[in-house]
Amino acid sequence: MAGYTFLTVHQPSAAAMAVALAGAVGVTAADVDVADESVGHRDWAAVVLCDRMSLAGDLALAWDVHVSPRVGPAPPPVAEVALRLAARLGTTVLHPAEGVRPSAYWAATPDGIRTRARVLDGGMDGDGRPVFTVDAVEKAVAQLPWARVERIVEVRQDG
């Protein structure tokens, strides 16, 4: 099963997310189930399952996406899916960078820019939502105007 983790600057509706995910991974919207913490019903037969959770701070939403192995051809790599979602939803989409610090992310913008980003975990807010801050990006991102623009050095966790 393929899986993706995304953070978004905006909070699209579950219906908009389903349509965007369907187009990004090559299935129909009917094959996608998007649910948040308040939804009691799931379509466990859907080939794409997405859990969404509201965030606080600089980012609005966390996505946890699981794509069934029944989806063929194989879904695209995470960077491509992030760019497709950003374009379809008009929001900056971030995904974790592999093999580096937990704060290391990639950001994909609606206009097709892909850049490194540093995301800091700020704990929980008073309502129990995770707080995330986008501290820096390597290229300016219009939807993250407060983030410093600087070179972000990748350092492996073991080094």
Output the pLDDT for position 158.
Answer: 39
Mean pLDDT of 112-137: 92
Query: Cα–Cα–Cα angle for 69, 20, 125, nearest 5°?
Result: 95
Output the pLDDT for position 81.
Answer: 94
Output the pLDDT for position 2.
Answer: 77
**Residue 32 near residue 42, CB atoms below 8 Å:** no
With bands split at pLDDT 50, 70 and 90, how would you rate the model's confidence at 100?
A: low
Output the pLDDT for position 103.
Answer: 84
Of 9, 58, 15, the residue nearest 33 (C-alpha):
15
Share of the chain above pLDDT 90, in %: 68
Structure tokens at 2: 């393929």
Distance in angstroms (rounded) separating the CA atoms of residues 24 and 95 = 15
Structure tokens at 112: 């097709």
